[in-house]
Chain A
Amino acid sequence: MATRYFGQPIKRNEDPRLLRGRGLYVDDVQLPGMLHMALVRSPYARARIRRIDTSKALAAPGVVAVITHADLPANLQGPLPPLIPHPTLKHHKTQFALAPGQVRHAGEAVAAVVAESRYAAEDAAELVEVEYEPLPAVVDMEKALEPGSPLVHEDIGTNVAAHYTQVVGDVEKAFAEADLVFEEVFRPDRGQAQPMETRGVVAVYDRNLETLTIWDSTQAPIRIRSGLAELYGMRANQVRVIAPNVGGGFGPKIMMFYPEEVLVPWLAMKLGRPVKYIEDRREHFFATNQERDQVHRVQVAVRKDGTILGIKDVFLYDTGAYIPYGLIIPIVASCTLPGPYKIPNYHAEFKAVFTNKTICSPYRGAGRPHGVFVMERIINRIAEELGIDRVEVRRRNLIQPDEFPYDVGLIYQDNAPLRYDSGNYPGLLDKLLKLIEYDQWPARKEQYRKEGRYVGLGLALYVEGTGVGPYEGARVHVEPSGKVWVATGVGTQGQSHQTTFAQIVAEELGVRVEDVEVVTGDTGAFHWGTGTFASRAAVVAGNAVALAARDVKAKALEVAANLLEASVEDLELADGQVRVKGAPQRAVSLGQVAVAANPLRGTIPPGQEPGLEAARYFNPPQSAFSAGGHAAIIEVDPATGMIKILKYAVVHDCGRLINPMVVEGQIHGGVAQGIGGSFYERLVFDENGQLLTTTFMDFLIPTAMEVPDIVIDHQETPSPLNPLGVKGAGEAGVIPVPALFVDAIEDAFSGYGLRFREVPLDPNRLRQALAEAGVPGAGSTAA
């Protein structure tokens, strides 16, 4: 089916405004009389608060209020609402708007200062005197399980928040029957999304309209709105939340509520003036959620031909001091592990563990990178142990194209069965091998070695559950001018929704993409929805947009049929008109149709709703499953442990593509974050729970010099689960990177018996490992 707009690499609608510097991000909102908030944060990871003296702060110039926990109304003093319950989440402990007498992680908010400027607020924040009684903190998730460990939440007597096991088949039988059984322990470490825009909230209460308007850099404006309305005891339609332009989300901005989201609107109402809070970068390091640390203990049962009989993965998930977001990350990790492979017997068991560190919640990948890291490391170990080529091991275990839908046997994060809808994994692997010229690799590698260079090729495959429910909705509305206006509840943090959703509508209604205006993330425009996360917006909201557009199309044809005295079958929508096929002079503009559908007088048919408008919802029955493979060629200097990525290739399958340019951009960005998380970025805590990496001087985000060119090829296996046949793409770029990174480095030093079980690596640890393995030039291991 030929398409005009859908599937085309169309230039973005949103760009001219953003390029001119006319985007509106939360910090760009300026209101008369606006006050600024700064927070006093705990320097200790665990401590009791003995006393807080705010008198000096209150007397400082420009200060309007200083608030501690005791000053909060009763409805804001307790733990903030838990988000995603689970039957095994026994202790669903959540964070507070301000710390209630004790702090559980460094950076936890203890007091709020409101002043005429952020400068003055910071001055006053330093004058708030807090008397802490520091307590021993528990920082390591394995130590948190030891008897006698400090308890993050004393009232529950344990640091285990949840213990959940999913079982497929009989893994003990698999071990008994296996030709080879081996064990591994893997330790991916903590990282952070670090979007270029930190978090921010602005709120203003209008006493005349009795409405609260909030600008919030959130990925979930609708849920923030309903949640806050409930918290403040207001009607939902008294609260409007706008997520304007958001400078990157990547996960942590979906978490709710951050203390500031609760404090700022309340302060605006209490003080009768608009209040703004913009998180600064240093605060962002410990006040915005983190992710990525887990410890996996895996046992694998294999037949001698390399096919996998069973896997038992028992792992720990470090959730930080609280667990508002529930068990999504570890559930996703365990559900992503099987990947494109047939794992007939699988035991996935995890404990979610409290530690005195910043809260964890999803960061791009949300556990998928962990599942892939474990699985791909297992594949490589199998290849090594049995002397079978690593690609061949993969081939022998892949799910075949005629085996869809494929039931993995698990329950996914949406409580629906983990059932892959469509895919072609062997085809994907073949494309990837071709792109990276895998057949020439042995000869090339030998040539490099002859030149004294250590260069390795790494690869990794994954399957990604995307497009989870529960639902999203959209309204499509045609104006008398003929322009089309779309509203949907998801927010946008760079995913090009103003263009991709416009492409969907343009395709259905025969209008130009630039004549479709898309509003996202404003509860005033659309108020039912969940949010932008888990690679779901294009799938769920996109399909809602399509369904609404199709309804509008059907109505337009009906109304136009009346106007043109033709029958619906003889009409088509094109160039902003409804016209008779083959007789284009018999036409009405879409705008005229919109006017006709909403007459000032007269009658309209019973049951017909006015205007050329429709609102529809899409409720996915389960996830749609994207898949991909990445491969990279990486050179390592053993003397310094420094690396250079010589080539990076991606084959990606997210079903039908709405805009290939947008999808590729998402992949580029994900790969860059993956590279960052493999070799440059790491959050380092000391044994007291102090975060040592609190600036961009310590947490190293890759620059244009560290990210190579990325070559992408596509495969499209449409999803049968939604009208558009699309699957999600937002997280794909980051998911397999750590796995292929260590694979490439091991390959570069094949023969030296290197095996990496931790990420991120860095030149320091890499050089050390090479020296220990006796690689020439890596030096000694003596201190």
Chain B
Amino acid sequence: MLPESSRHRIRVTVNGQVYEREVEARLLLSDFLRYELGLTGTHVGCEHGVCGACTVQLDGQPVRSCLMFAVQADGREIRTVEGLAPDEERLHPIQEAFWEAHGLQCGFCTPGFLMTVEAFLRENPDPTDEEIREAISGNLCRCTGYVNIIKAVRLAAEKLRAGR
């Protein structure tokens, strides 16, 4: 009645830790991270690749985890928001900047922004406001109107350049 669904063993590194699991082929990477691994910091907003809430880093590059299957992450390295802060006492400078600049309100879209911004500032450590807007245009926010997010990214760039 229903088509066949294949299952696969995968080995994925997430935030430096190796996980081995057996998954259904159609299990989305977003659901794998959230339900299989319990890493619920990555959020799901649309499941059709527009809102960016599910953004994680695949081999250091931001991608939409709702548009990948967990099986595709076999042998790859994923970084999620849980892997940003260096430890329990300290936050990543980008997280600090969002905090200081009031760059989040409900917090639902925030992890996606953080993963996008972290990669962006690695590539472009001294961006203009226009470049910041473009870089984050693939992440939707309904609470902040982006004004303070842009402030936060500017502040984050400053902090990172100053080596903090």
Restricting to A694-716, which residues have a CB under 8 Å from any CB of B?
Answer: 695-697, 701, 703-705, 707, 709-710
The verdict on A69 contacting chain B, using a C-beta distance below 8 Å, is no
Partner of B41 from the list A21, A195, A494 (CB cut-off 8 Å) is A21
CA distance A697 to B102 in the complex (A): 29
CA distance A495 to B53 in the complex (A): 19
Q: Report which residue of B24, B40, B42, B107 has the largest number of chain A beta carbons within 10 angstroms of its beta carbon.
A: B107
Mask of B120-157 contacts with A, CB within 8 angstroms, 1/0: 00000000000011101111111111111110000000
Contacts of B84 in A (CB 8 A): 20
Contacts of B133 in A (CB 8 A): 704-705
**With A248-B143, A665-B102, A704-B150: A197-B43 Cβ-Cβ less than 8 Å:** yes
- Contact between A705 and B134, CB atoms less than 8 A apart: yes
CA distance A197 to B146 in the complex (A): 17
- Contact between A15 and B99, CB atoms less than 8 A apart: yes
Contacts of B47 in A (CB 8 A): 280-281
The verdict on B91 contacting chain A, using a C-beta distance below 8 Å, is yes
Mask of A176-200 contacts with B, CB within 8 angstroms, 1/0: 0000000000000000011111100
- Contact between A21 and B2, CB atoms less than 8 A apart: no
- Contact between B107 and A28, CB atoms less than 8 A apart: no
CA distance A488 to B157 in the complex (A): 38
The verdict on A11 contacting chain B, using a C-beta distance below 8 Å, is yes
The verdict on B70 contacting chain A, using a C-beta distance below 8 Å, is no
Contacts of B91 in A (CB 8 A): 16, 19-20
Partner of B144 from the list A23, A28, A59, A669 (CB cut-off 8 Å) is A669
- Contact between A21 and B142, CB atoms less than 8 A apart: no
Partner of B45 from the list A22, A196, A246, A710 (CB cut-off 8 Å) is A196
Partner of A119 from the list B24, B99, B105 (CB cut-off 8 Å) is B24
- Contact between A704 and B146, CB atoms less than 8 A apart: yes
| Stretch among A286-294, A410-418, A559-567, A670-678 lining the B interface | A670-678
- Contact between B85 and A20, CB atoms less than 8 A apart: yes
> What is the CB-to-nearest-CB distance from B48 to chain A, in angstroms, rounded to a whole number?
6
CA distance A19 to B140 in the complex (A): 16
Contacts of A495 in B (CB 8 A): 105
The verdict on A758 contacting chain B, using a C-beta distance below 8 Å, is no
- Contact between B143 and A494, CB atoms less than 8 A apart: yes
Partner of A12 from the list B53, B102, B136, B141 (CB cut-off 8 Å) is B102
Q: How many residues of A contact B (CB 8 A)?
A: 65
Contacts of B147 in A (CB 8 A): 665, 668, 707, 709-710
Partner of B108 from the list A9, A127, A197 (CB cut-off 8 Å) is A197
Partner of A247 from the list B39, B46, B108, B148 (CB cut-off 8 Å) is B108
The verdict on A164 contacting chain B, using a C-beta distance below 8 Å, is no
The verdict on B104 contacting chain A, using a C-beta distance below 8 Å, is yes
CA distance A575 to B111 in the complex (A): 35
> What is the CB-to-nearest-CB distance from B1 to chain A, in angstroms, rounded to a whole number?
7
Contacts of B143 in A (CB 8 A): 196, 248, 494, 665, 669
Taking CB as reference atom, which chain B residue is nearest A18? Answer: B107
- Contact between B95 and A195, CB atoms less than 8 A apart: no
Contacts of A9 in B (CB 8 A): 102
The verdict on B9 contacting chain A, using a C-beta distance below 8 Å, is no
9 CB < 8 A contacts A-B: A19-B85, A19-B98, A20-B95, A56-B1, A247-B108, A665-B145, A669-B143, A672-B146, A673-B145
B residues at A contact (CB < 8 Å): 1-2, 24, 26-27, 34-35, 38-48, 50-51, 53, 80-82, 84-85, 91, 95, 98-100, 102, 104-111, 114, 132-134, 136-150
A residues at B contact (CB < 8 Å): 9, 11-12, 14-16, 18-25, 27-28, 30, 56, 59-61, 119, 123, 127, 193-198, 245-248, 250, 280-282, 493-496, 661-662, 664-673, 695-697, 701, 703-705, 707, 709-710, 733
